[in-house]
């Protein structure tokens, strides 16, 4: 298990703080990541803080605290941003006083998808675990940092070599909130190789 060092900004936010055990990002209005699908617009201006690796097998864990989010689509979570047309993210997006969307977006070759499930608006923290097996990836979430639940498995068409991954936060509409990230660590890949049905 290893602590995180050497992270670099893509679109550095105006207000943030970085300490060894805690990162805070103050989101700015009208920041987001999305490409084309359904909405037809392209948003590519969210701040992203990432590290680089060529390791083919690993897992990355982080705890997010979004207690101060209050406006539709406010979000913070994990990200693997390769370029504007190829990236993935997972987060809780605020919706209203009753529920939020826990979800993930995978963008390959300039088109995003969005997989979500509704959770209570009372949830104010979420853990994520991002695992790599060569050019395939798994995203998991946890309410307590102990029991992780699979959100999705995906393939990234540009995810085979050196990658960049880390955290992000944004507010797509007219709002701003403080996103807090703690307990970040990199470990051996906990996503084990498949031992069931063999390929054709």
CB 142 within 8 Å of CB 127: yes
- Per domain, the residue ranges of the chain are 8-187
CATH node for 8-187: 2.60.120.200
What is the per-residue DSSP string for 42-93?
EEE---EEEEEE--SEEEEEEEEE-TT--STT-EEEEEEEEETTEEEEEEEE
CA angle 163, 24, 34 (to 5 degrees): 50
> Structure pTM?
0.94
Residue-wise pLDDT tens for the chain (200 aa)? Answer: 555 668 999 999 999 999 999 999 999 999 999 999 988 889 999 999 999 999 999 999 999 999 999 999 999 999 999 999 999 999 999 999 999 999 999 999 999 999 999 999 999 999 999 999 999 999 999 999 999 999 999 999 999 999 999 999 999 999 999 999 999 999 999 999 987 777 66
């Amino acid at each position: 298990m290893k602590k995180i060092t050497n992270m670099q900004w893509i679109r550095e936010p105006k207000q943030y703080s970085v300490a060894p055990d805690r990162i805070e990002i103050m989101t700015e209005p009208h920041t987001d990541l999305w490409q084309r699908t359904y909405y037809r617009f392209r948003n590519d201006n969210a701040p992203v803080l990432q590290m680089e690796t060529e390791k083919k097998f690993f897992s990355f864990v982080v705890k997010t605290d979004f207690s101060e989010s209050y406006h539709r689509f406010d979000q913070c979570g994990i990200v693997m941003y390769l370029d504007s047309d190829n990236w993935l993210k997972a987060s809780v997006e605020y919706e209203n006083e009753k529920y939020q969307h826990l979800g993930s977006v995978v963008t390959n070759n300039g088109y995003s998808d969005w997989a979500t499930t509704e959770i209570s608006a009372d949830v104010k923290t979420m853990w994520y675990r991002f695992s790599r097996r060569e050019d395939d990836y798994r995203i998991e979430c946890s309410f307590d940092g102990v029991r992780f639940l699979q959100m999705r498995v995906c393939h990234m068409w540009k995810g085979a070599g050196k990658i960049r991954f880390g955290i992000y936060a944004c507010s797509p509409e007219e709002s701003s909130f403080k996103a807090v990230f703690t307990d970040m660590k990199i470990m051996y890949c906990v996503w084990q190789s498949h031992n069931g049905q063999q390929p054709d």
